[in-house]
Amino acid sequence: MDQLIHQLLLPLLYTLCVVLPLVIGVAMYVWWERKVIGWMHVRMGPNQVGPAGLLQAFADVVKLLLKEVILPTNANKVLYYLAPLIALVPALAAWAVIPFSDKVALSNANAGLLYLLAMTSLGVYGIILAGWSSNSRYALLGAMRSAAQVISYELAMGLCLVCVLVLAGSLNLTDIVNAQAGHKGIFDWFMWPLLPVFVIYFISGVAETNRAPFDVAEGESEIVAGFHVEYSGSAFALFFLAEYANMILVSFLAAILFCGGWLSPIPDAVPVLGHTSILWLFAKVFVFATLFLWFRATFPRYRYDQIMRLGWKVLIPIAIVWVLVAGCMKYYGLVHIGTGG
């Protein structure tokens, strides 16, 4: 009986410990998005439900869950209901290898970075299938745009990850964070030697999650709402959840791969503030997550051909060159690689 608990129930419990805060985090993130964009538009944002409108997101969830899921005429029934799940499952599965601290991770897999690449590349199926099975022109257009965009930016993103693993010499995310440890605090992070790649990674992350200014897959002023135009109620809520979970995931990865994860930006000689802490990780993630919202409030949407040009002719060449630069930096020992602990 003891063994059963160890082998089956404990992993399940740990998984819940990640997924539940994630879902609540998504709700808070939606509230924060509406607040931030409200302030940038010089208006209040949600302020009626609960203190400072904090419960607005939960009210919206309840509203969505109570709505009817409508099946369009001649839609492909199985795929139509399966698509939101296919979008959500990789978005949640990717969290299995995210380390939260030196010792805390659901799975401290050796091929963690590869696994992440595999999981993030699966998310596009949900979008394509949703667009195709809805039997709607707008949805199909959105799915086409999204497929081309996600594949293009995945290449740039993959090359950025190659730079990180060349420097760190490991695919294990905990090792990658520990490789950024040192006595100089913020200056030991990979974001300095890999600055162009760091910027490219974040741009690709925004494009991968189909967020503004790369939100042509939704493009509400051109193709109404793109791939999920026919979805309502809880099916729509799943797409929503997947998108925001992916945004938080990209923020976590930016913090872990380039900004030292739970390491402190202050040199470790300083008492208290120089210590490693999970709070540093959350602070960095918060900054990146807020950047997503800032972009949305600031930039106009890219045109489709401009997105393709930026991805193929600007980001990918720079990333390829920087793979070579990272290799030279590693070979000549120009970057300090910490050992952690």
Partner 1 sequence: MIDPSLFQLVCFYAFAAVTVVAALSVITLRNSVHAVLALVLTFFSTACIWMLAEAEFLAIALIVVYVGAVMVLFLFVVMMLDIDQEKIREGFVKFLPVGLIVAVVMLVEMLGLIGVRMMHTQTMGENPATAAGMSNTQWLGMALYTQYLLPFEIAALILTVGVIAAVALTLRHRAGTRKQHPSEQVAVKATDRVRIIKMAAERPADSQPAPAQESKP
Distance CA 62, CA 83 (A): 21
* From 31-39, 141-149, 203-211, 259-267, span contacting partner 1 (CB under 8 A): 141-149
**Nearer CB in complex with partner 1: 4/66:** 4
Contact with partner 1 (CB under 8 A) among 24, 110, 187, 220: 110
Distance CA 89, CA 41 (A): 34
Q: Does 95 bind partner 1 (CB under 8 A)?
A: no
Spatial contact of 319 and 194, defined as CB atoms under 8 Å apart: no
With tokens 């299995």, the residue in question is: 96
Which phi-psi region, left, alpha or beta, contains residue 45 (left: φ > 0; alpha: ψ -120 to 50)?
Answer: left
* From 147-155, 194-202, 235-243, 275-283, span contacting partner 1 (CB under 8 A): 147-155
Provide the minimum distance between the beta carbon of 204 and partner 1 in the complex, in angstroms, as a whole number: 14
* From 1-9, 29-37, 214-222, 252-260, span contacting partner 1 (CB under 8 A): 1-9
Contact with partner 1 (CB under 8 A) among 154, 208, 215, 243: 154
Q: Does 137 bind partner 1 (CB under 8 A)?
A: no
**Nearer CB in complex with partner 1: 26/176:** 176
In this structure, the number of other CB atoms found within 10 A of the CB of residue 210 comes to 25
Provide the minimum distance between the beta carbon of 146 and partner 1 in the complex, in angstroms, as a whole number: 10
- 3-state secondary structure at position 296: helix
Q: Does 291 bind partner 1 (CB under 8 A)?
A: no
Spatial contact of 75 and 135, defined as CB atoms under 8 Å apart: yes
- 3-state secondary structure at position 99: strand
Q: Which residues contact 53 (CB under 8 A, 6 or more apart)?
A: 31, 34, 35, 45, 46, 47
Q: Which helix (H) or strand (E) holds 84?
A: helix 77-93
Residues 4-43 close enough to bind partner 1 by CB under 8 A: 4, 7
Distance CA 94, CA 249 (A): 8
Distance CA 131, CA 112 (A): 31
* From 16-24, 26-34, 136-144, 271-279, span contacting partner 1 (CB under 8 A): 136-144
**Nearer CB in complex with partner 1: 66/73:** 73
Provide the minimum distance between the beta carbon of 337 and partner 1 in the complex, in angstroms, as a whole number: 16
Query: Rounded to 5, what percent of the chain is helix, strand, coil?
Result: 70, 0, 30
Cis before residue 267, ω within 30 degrees of 0?
no
Contact with partner 1 (CB under 8 A) among 27, 140, 176, 245: 140
Q: Does 128 bind partner 1 (CB under 8 A)?
A: yes
Provide the minimum distance between the beta carbon of 237 and partner 1 in the complex, in angstroms, as a whole number: 24
48 alpha carbon, distance to own chain's centre: 29
* Bridge partners, 105 (sequence order): 99
> Contacts with partner 1: how many residues (CB under 8 A)?
30
Q: Of 278, 228, 6, 269, which is closest to residue 127 (Cα–Cα)? A: 228
**Nearer CB in complex with partner 1: 148/297:** 148
Q: Does 321 bind partner 1 (CB under 8 A)?
A: no
Interface residue list for partner 1 (CB under 8 A): 3-4, 7, 76, 79, 110-111, 114-115, 117-118, 121-122, 124-125, 128-129, 132, 140, 143-144, 147-148, 150-151, 154, 158, 171, 305, 309
